[in-house]
Amino acid sequence: MKKMKLVMIGNGMAGCRTLEELLKLAPDLYDITVFGAEPHGNYNRILLSPVLAGEMTLPEIMLNDLDWYRDNAITLHAGKMVTKIDRIKRRVIAADGTEAEYDRLLIATGSTPFIPPIPGADLPGVLAYRDIGDTEAMIEASTKYKHAVVIGAGLLGLEAANGLMLRGMSVTVVHLADWIMERQLDKPAADMLQASLEAKGMNFLLSKQTEALVRGESGRVGAVRFKDGMEIPADLVVVAAGIRPNFALAESAGIYCGTGRARGIAVSDTLQTVTDPRVYAVGECVAHRGIAYGLVAPLFEQGKVCANHLANFGIGRYEGSVTSTKLKVTGIDVFSAGDFSGGPDTEDIVLHDKQGGVYKRIVIRNNRIVGSVLYGDTADGSWYFQLMKDGQDIHEIRDHLMFGQNHLGDAGHKGENKAAAMADTAEVCGCNGVCKGTIVKAIKEKGLFTLDEVKKHTKAASSCGSCTGLVEQILASTVGGAYQAVSAHDKPVCGCTELSHGDVRKAIRDHKLLNIPDAMETLSWKTPNGCSTCRPALNYYLISTWPHEAKDDPQSRFINERAHANIQKDGTYSVVPQMLGGVTTPAELKRIAEVAEKYKVPTVKVTGGQRIDLLGIKKEDLPHVWKDLGMPSGHAYGKSIRTVKTCVGAEHCRFGTQRSMAMGIDLEKMLFGMWSPHKVKLAVSGCPRNCAEAGIKDVGVIGVDSGWELYVAGNGGIKTEVAQFLCKVQTREEVMEYSGAFLQLYREEGFYLERTVHYVERVGLEHVKKHVLENAESRKALFERLLYALQDAKDPWAERYAADAVPAVRREFEILEA
């Protein structure tokens, strides 16, 4: 099949990231041609500051050298600026006459420095700070001249000033605003940063308006004069007064580029220009929903979505970005994100320790973080940013916010804020023996920006995953503003797809997909058969969305679910028969005892879920054990309903106010056969003494004098999470309906392997209340869908317990294991 022609104008970070993503998705779809105005491959502009400071060299900051273009059969016209786009003939023309035809055009022309209309701005020695050429000119000037003036105290200006100061120049930073970095910092943080930089030798002139750049005796710039008459010497002037989207070429081709302040190539959520669907645009040249982004992370998000559509997948949408800024100037850490200035409808939590050199401000609206600014101690910046991106309710941890994530003692957060204090020799990933220095070196040398890239190149966080948070923090602290924390909504299911769990669930519902092969084909899975991560997830989403139509695939279940028992570390299995509500009979106990003797079960244990566990059973004996028991499984192995723990309640206890055993048995019967994103445990206590520990269950029911209290999203795992109060009801039927509605909402919206505590943390308890409490119609519909899904539920292995089925079951074990 003849390939289509893709031409890209611009050879910067956003455009090349788009090509990288496209080559992953559709490596053979296009013949690709790239025009770049600079005579280089694609390099990391973020690292121009270390080059200026003498800490790195040009080869070290290359992201895609010339070999990369050749290896991927990309035609690169380096040093050739495109001057015309002919949309009628679908071709582009460079200044030297070079032409290239296209079927699809990608414009990634970036931005241009804003040079204020100051007299003398065209003098020799006056530079912008944007590319390698500017950096090399500044380095050369630093070897010949003494006095440098930087106009603009934004992020780029301070980095330029710091680099020139390290090169031995006397540097003065001139700024029109009242404080430095006003777009990233509030005044207290800016004042602390300025004081620290002044102590290192940097000079500042604030609230100063430049009137003219004065020619010196040598013919180059010699001084800067201000409107108040003040004049200072300047052998080199670096203008860092901001950037503007570079849209002139696109506009000359009749492509709409907005009006007023929203100037830039106007694109839709698919990154197609609103004028011509054959023409796409990404990067700093773009105005998406009227916003132009100047940080790398949003541009990479755009590139990923654009590649998805260029590859004809047609699924991704770019809906804008929440950005953060991390700056490190001469060892001083600064972080900001979101609306850090606040307003009448917000409140602040502030820590201001001038002597200690620490400032923290967290801005909150409706119990959610909307912005933060940190100075000196930025270790928790990415944590605050993640809380902000995910919109998590911080009411319960508000008192701990200012003291950082480590103060929570949360093993579940995997110690993200340890990264800053770690030595390079400290081990980060115990599974693969990877230290911090190895990760940092790979990030810098290979130009890594995402967690997946770090996993691929270092193996860190690619095994058990317990160090993922720490690796993300190292990544964030190393690449600064180029790192974008990915919200739980957006993370791909696995490396086999670019789609998130939410995207997959929606597609299965919208397209009525009923089996894994159809789902993978429809969703353009990258691998033919998926992997051990995505197949179980797909299988669950299919059977939970279409409970009586989708085909359950045993081969896409974990070994415990396939074997109908829990595998142990010695390769034997644990069998747990069902005991409704923890209640049993002498006959059941007798059968269990006889099975234990017959099969020489080495250990018989009462579990925490009030059942009896037979441990040490050989795989070949499992079918016979289940046949002889003649009892349904307690599903101790499944991502499913596990158990309903009960106390003896009003049936026997003198303190009991409600019949907890009967309620527990009713709930367990109702939920029998319920598969879910993760394991689900319930408990029913007959009085507020709560002997059944209902306060740490996925659903907890506590009897009170006037009825029942319902609690949700508890967890007794690695980190104990206390369940949150949902509501109070009066009758048995209400307990069943409200509990069932919550669990069905979790089944429909939870991501695979996401516990209820993390689901509620992600969507918010108010979301749950809206669907389960406030809207009776929604609650009843959820409950009906649960009952519909479970109406024919039965022990999936019951029919195999018959004597004549045992050999077949054993063979199935062997087939599934193979």
Asked if the model's pLDDT at residue 373 lies above 90, the reply is: yes
Position 720 scores a pLDDT of: 77
**CATH code of 734's domain:** 3.30.413.10
Closest residue by Cα to residue 708 from 776, 785, 650, 788: 650
Least confident piece of the model among 41-55, 328-342, 416-430, 600-614: 416-430
Does residue 258 contact residue 168 with C-beta atoms inside 8 Å? no
- Torsion sign, CA atoms 690, 695, 697, 703: positive
Identify whether residues 191 and 166 lie together within a single domain: yes
> In Å, how far from its chain's centre is CA 254?
37
Give the whole-number percent of the chain exceeding pLDDT 70.
91
Does residue 28 contact residue 3 with C-beta atoms inside 8 Å? yes
Identify whether residues 235 and 255 lie together within a single domain: no
Q: Is 538 helix (H, G, I), strand (E, B) or coil?
A: helix
Asked if the model's pLDDT at residue 565 lies above 90, the reply is: no
Phi/psi at 771 (5° precision)? -90, -30
Identify whether residues 208 and 273 lie together within a single domain: no
Identify whether residues 761 and 651 lie together within a single domain: yes
Examine residue 42 and state whether it is found in any structural domain, yes or no.
yes
Residue 606 Cα distances to 217, 579, 619, angstroms: 93, 11, 21
Q: N- to C-terminal Cα distance for the chain?
A: 38
Render pLDDT for 230-242 as a digit per residue (tens, 0 to 9): 999 999 999 999 8
Asked if the model's pLDDT at residue 34 lies above 90, the reply is: yes
Examine residue 483 and state whether it is found in any structural domain, yes or no.
no
Domain end, chosen from 267, 284, 310, is at: 310
Identify whether residues 175 and 302 lie together within a single domain: no
Does residue 759 contact residue 790 with C-beta atoms inside 8 Å? no
Position 201 scores a pLDDT of: 92
The contacts found for 266-269 with CB under 8 angstroms, 24 or more apart, are 269/305, 269/317, 269/318, 269/319
Q: Is 275 helix (H, G, I), strand (E, B) or coil?
A: coil
pLDDT confidence of 487, banded at 50, 70, 90?
low
Does residue 327 contact residue 41 with C-beta atoms inside 8 Å? no
Render pLDDT for 255-265 as a digit per residue (tens, 0 to 9): 999 887 779 99
Q: Is 343 helix (H, G, I), strand (E, B) or coil?
A: coil
Position 806 scores a pLDDT of: 42
As a whole number of angstroms, the distance between CA 762 and CA 741 comes to 18
Asked if the model's pLDDT at residue 477 lies above 80, the reply is: no
Asked if the model's pLDDT at residue 247 lies above 90, the reply is: yes
Q: Looking only at Cα atoms, what is the longest distance across the chain? A: 108
Position 555 scores a pLDDT of: 81
Identify which has the larger pLDDT, 131 or 716: 131
Give the whole-number percent of the chain exceeding pLDDT 90.
50
Identify whether residues 164 and 193 lie together within a single domain: yes
Counting runs of H as helices and runs of E as strands, what totals does the chain give? 26, 38
Mean pLDDT of the chain: 86
pLDDT confidence of 44, banded at 50, 70, 90?
confident
Q: Quickly tell me which residue has 């609103």 as its tokens.
A: 274
Q: At what angle do helices 586-598 and 622-629 cross, to 10 degrees?
A: 150
Token duo for residue 248: 């002139």
Q: Is 216 helix (H, G, I), strand (E, B) or coil?
A: coil
Position 432 scores a pLDDT of: 59
| Helix, strand, coil distribution of the chain in percent, nearest 5 | 35, 25, 40
- The DSSP 8-state label assigned to residue 621 in this structure reads G
Identify whether residues 106 and 169 lie together within a single domain: no
Position 409 scores a pLDDT of: 47
Mean pLDDT score, 702-721: 86
Mean pLDDT score, 500-518: 90
Q: Which range marks the domain in which residue 680 is found?
A: 639-794
* Buried-exposed string 110-138: b where 16+ CB fall within 10 A, e elsewhere: bbbbebeebebbebebbbbbbbbebbebb
Render pLDDT for 105-133 as a digit per residue (tens, 0 to 9): 999 999 999 889 999 999 999 999 989 99
Identify whether residues 669 and 734 lie together within a single domain: yes
Examine residue 365 and state whether it is found in any structural domain, yes or no.
no
Examine residue 403 and state whether it is found in any structural domain, yes or no.
no
Q: Best-predicted range by mean pLDDT among 568-572, 610-614, 808-812?
A: 610-614
Examine residue 492 and state whether it is found in any structural domain, yes or no.
no
As a whole number of angstroms, the distance between CA 443 and CA 450 comes to 9
Render pLDDT for 541-552 as a digit per residue (tens, 0 to 9): 999 999 989 988
Does residue 35 contact residue 92 with C-beta atoms inside 8 Å? yes
Does residue 683 contact residue 711 with C-beta atoms inside 8 Å? no
Asked if the model's pLDDT at residue 763 lies above 80, the reply is: yes
Examine residue 452 and state whether it is found in any structural domain, yes or no.
no
Q: Is 617 helix (H, G, I), strand (E, B) or coil?
A: strand
Position 205 scores a pLDDT of: 96
Does residue 19 contact residue 46 with C-beta atoms inside 8 Å? no
Identify whether residues 282 and 217 lie together within a single domain: no
Render pLDDT for 275-321 as a digit per residue (tens, 0 to 9): 999 999 999 999 999 999 988 878 988 999 999 999 998 878 898 88
Is the whole model's pTM more than 0.85, yes or no? no
Identify whether residues 85 and 185 lie together within a single domain: no
Q: Best-predicted range by mean pLDDT among 206-215, 403-412, 450-459?
A: 206-215
Does residue 362 contact residue 383 with C-beta atoms inside 8 Å? no
Examine residue 278 and state whether it is found in any structural domain, yes or no.
yes
Q: Best-predicted range by mean pLDDT among 46-50, 526-530, 648-652, 745-749?
A: 745-749
Position 435 scores a pLDDT of: 84
As a whole number of angstroms, the distance between CA 471 and CA 429 comes to 8
Domain end, chosen from 182, 217, 241, is at: 241
Identify which has the larger pLDDT, 491 or 92: 92
Identify which has the larger pLDDT, 729 or 421: 729
Closest residue by Cα to residue 285 from 452, 112, 438: 112
As a whole number of angstroms, the distance between CA 143 and CA 164 comes to 10
**CATH code of 182's domain:** 3.50.50.60
As a whole number of angstroms, the distance between CA 651 and CA 179 comes to 71
Position 54 scores a pLDDT of: 86
Q: Which residues on neighbouring strands pair with residue 226, listed in sequence order?
A: 210
> In Å, how far from its chain's centre is CA 199?
38
Least confident piece of the model among 139-143, 458-462, 675-679: 458-462
Identify whether residues 647 and 753 lie together within a single domain: yes
Q: Best-predicted range by mean pLDDT among 151-155, 391-395, 789-793?
A: 151-155
Number of domains in the chain: 4
pLDDT confidence of 484, banded at 50, 70, 90?
low
Examine residue 817 and state whether it is found in any structural domain, yes or no.
no
Identify whether residues 45 and 171 lie together within a single domain: no
- In what helix (H) or strand (E) does residue 363 lie, and over which residues does it extend? strand 358-365
